[in-house]
């Protein structure tokens, strides 16, 4: 049985090689967490002996990782857009492709300093409104989710980053509970067609309610676009992350709602269609 840093890393790699594409990263991050050290420290201190308590913690976590549990759920937190967020199985794990939405929102808000009323729909762990509000000092968000468990995670993240005055959380069905005009609407709603969800590896661990987009993947997006048609101000911006396979039908929905708007789908870092961006004509 492992007793040193080097042995623990070797054992971790062997245990995770067949279950994780990032076995080395997972191994190093988990052991670093157990030891309260940086990953770089591990590589320089391979001979360091773990205490009995550290060995027990490390082995418990390794067993969970070997069973397929995602590392962020084991850690209880994950980084997104340079910030650290609390995560639990009640919410999706933050992913790099969602940073595209945040970047677009921040850039637009900085170009439109008079536009500061925003809503984030299906907010989950609130990574989107928190990341945007942390970078745009006077934006104010309605952050809505239907899941009370997700909202508990969101509340922890809003408080963690000192944004309780500017990110207002509420439980609701999309935009149904909001009546005030909005300058910006952002969303990362479930967009996987129902038939594809069971085959997804993430479906075993991440909440189905945050993945399943209905028979065509557009059930909630279709409703949100219709609701946004009555709330989004002239000249406003609508941002929705999408499944790459839904590029054309999503654009069609947006153009049917806003025929004069600038409608486009932006690619993520891998070049796949990822973000529906709709900018309305000014009044």
Residue 240, domain CATH: 3.40.50.150
Residue length of the chain: 283
Q: What is the pLDDT along the chain (283 residues), one digit of tens a residue?
A: 778 999 999 999 999 999 999 999 999 999 999 999 999 999 999 999 999 999 999 999 999 999 999 999 999 999 999 999 999 999 999 999 999 999 999 999 999 999 999 999 999 999 999 999 999 999 999 999 999 999 999 999 999 999 999 999 999 999 998 999 999 999 999 999 999 999 998 899 999 999 999 999 999 999 999 999 999 999 999 999 999 999 999 999 999 999 999 999 999 999 999 999 999 999 8
Instruction: Assess whether 38 and 151 both reside in one domain.
Output: no
Instruction: Assess whether 31 and 163 both reside in one domain.
Output: no
Residue 44, domain CATH: 1.10.8.10
Instruction: Assess whether 82 and 138 both reside in one domain.
Output: yes
With a CB cutoff of 8 Å and minimum separation 6, the contacts of 175 are 119, 121, 144, 185, 224, 227, 228, 231
Reported as half-sphere exposure (CB side, CA atoms, 13 A), residue 217 has a value of 18
Q: Residues 153, 158, 163, CA angle at the centre, nearest 5°?
A: 170
Instruction: Assess whether 210 and 87 both reside in one domain.
Output: yes
What does pTM read for this prediction?
A: 0.94
Instruction: Assess whether 59 and 184 both reside in one domain.
Output: no
């Amino acid at each position: 049985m492992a007793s040193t840093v080097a042995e623990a890393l070797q054992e971790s790699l062997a245990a995770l090689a067949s279950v994780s594409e990032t076995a080395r990263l997972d191994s190093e991050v988990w052991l670093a967490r157990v030891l309260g050290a940086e990953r770089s420290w591990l590589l320089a201190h391979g001979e360091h002996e773990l205490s009995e308590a550290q060995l027990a913690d490390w082995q418990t976590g390794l067993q969970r990782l070997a069973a397929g549990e995602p590392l962020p759920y084991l850690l209880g937190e994950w980084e997104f857009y340079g910030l650290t967020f609390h995560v639990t199985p009640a919410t999706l794990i933050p992913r790099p492709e969602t940073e595209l939405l945040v970047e677009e929102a921040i850039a637009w808000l900085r170009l439109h300093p008079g536009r500061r009323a925003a809503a984030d729909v299906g907010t989950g762990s609130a990574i989107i409104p928190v990341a945007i509000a942390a970078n745009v000092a006077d934006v104010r968000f309605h952050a809505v989710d239907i899941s009370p468990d997700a909202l508990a995670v969101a509340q922890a993240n809003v408080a963690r980053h000192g944004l309780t005055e500017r990110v207002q959380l509420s439980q609701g069905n999309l935009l149904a509970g909001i009546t005030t005009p909005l300058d910006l609407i952002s969303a990362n709603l479930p967009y996987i067609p129902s038939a594809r969800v069971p085959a997804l590896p993430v479906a075993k661990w991440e909440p189905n309610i945050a993945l399943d987009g209905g028979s065509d993947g557009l059930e909630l997006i279709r409703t949100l676009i219709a609701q946004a048609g009555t709330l989004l101000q002239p000249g406003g911006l609508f941002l929705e992350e999408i499944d790459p396979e839904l590029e054309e039908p999503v654009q069609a929905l947006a153009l049917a709602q806003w025929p004069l708007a600038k409608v486009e789908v932006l690619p993520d870092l891998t070049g796949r269609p990822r973000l529906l961006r709709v900018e309305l004509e000014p009044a």
